[in-house]
Amino acid sequence: MDCQPNIIKQVYKWLLFDQTCWLCEEPSHGDLPLCHGCEDDLPWLLSHCPCCAEPLASAQLCRHCQQRRPHFATVISPLRYAFPVDSLLQRFKADQQTHYGRLLSHLLARHLQHAYAEGLARPDLLLPVPQANTRLRQRGFNQAQWLCRWLSATLELPWQRRWLHDNGQHQSQKKLSARARARNLRAAFSLTEHAKPGGLHIALVDDIVTTGSTANALAALLLSAGAAQVDVYCVARTAKIP
């Protein structure tokens, strides 16, 4: 089932706009509906953990990654999950205003192009983080698929929609040890019969990385099926809850 709304009409909506900043309504610049001031004021992710991208005072491995290195190699994110990115993402996901998602995907794609120019290895394939069918049916919208499709077009990288499956059986994680939580989460995802990750460098795509545990479970699954490396691309990274 493909629940995505008509992509063509909305994706390039801003190109039809009269170049007004969507955040302050001053004239925008360049090819984005953002003025210089608002773009500068976005909550850019500055120093962060080089592995999980947790915002930190200095660019060093965070405590969690030092204690137990995640299965993914690195999380790449241009922004912190803070105002106004949080409300743009909310409008994209909850209200299905895809032009806000398109703007955020453009910022992510531009960030990735810089990172590739600086030496980050381009993946062979993009995969959207899956959503349980029940959640997808309730909302009829998978933001990770939208982001993946846009990134694929901009970065000229292939993507696969149906390799990963969320079986929706996320058990309560309370009162479980970290190891048991990870095992639980890993059991919540599976590869479909279409999946052929053997030998591939894969980048998972999602809108937000919060604890990194979903990305870690999916990375473990892909690596156990023979993937060579798994990176994670997201629009925004939250600070970990202490």
Q: Give the strand pairing for 164-166 and 189-191.
A: antiparallel
Give the nearest distance from C-beta 37 to Zn ion in angstroms. Answer: 6
- Considering the complex, state which of residue 76 and residue 155 has its C-beta at the smaller distance from Zn ion: 76
- Considering the complex, state which of residue 19 and residue 184 has its C-beta at the smaller distance from Zn ion: 19
- Considering the complex, state which of residue 1 and residue 57 has its C-beta at the smaller distance from Zn ion: 57
Task: Give residue for tokens 């899956």.
Answer: 130
Residues near Zn ion, by CB under 5 A: 21, 23-24, 26, 35, 38, 49, 51-52, 54, 62, 65
Give the nearest distance from C-beta 183 to Zn ion in angstroms. Answer: 21
**CA dist list (Å): 76 to 10, 38, 101, 147, 151:** 26, 22, 17, 14, 13
Give the nearest distance from C-beta 49 to Zn ion in angstroms. Answer: 3
- Considering the complex, state which of residue 70 and residue 130 has its C-beta at the smaller distance from Zn ion: 70
Q: Which of 100, 74, 87, 85 is nearest to 44 (CA)?
A: 85
Query: How buried is 2 (Cβ within 10 angstroms: 0-12 exposed, 13-18 middle, 19+ buried)?
Result: exposed
Q: Which of 169, 147, 149, 145 is nearest to 157 (CA)?
A: 149
Give the nearest distance from C-beta 108 to Zn ion in angstroms. Answer: 19
Task: Show the tokens assigned to 12.
Answer: 């390039």
Give the nearest distance from C-beta 78 to Zn ion in angstroms. Answer: 17
Q: How would DSSP label each residue in 139-153?
A: H---HHHHHHHHHHH
- Considering the complex, state which of residue 24 and residue 94 has its C-beta at the smaller distance from Zn ion: 24
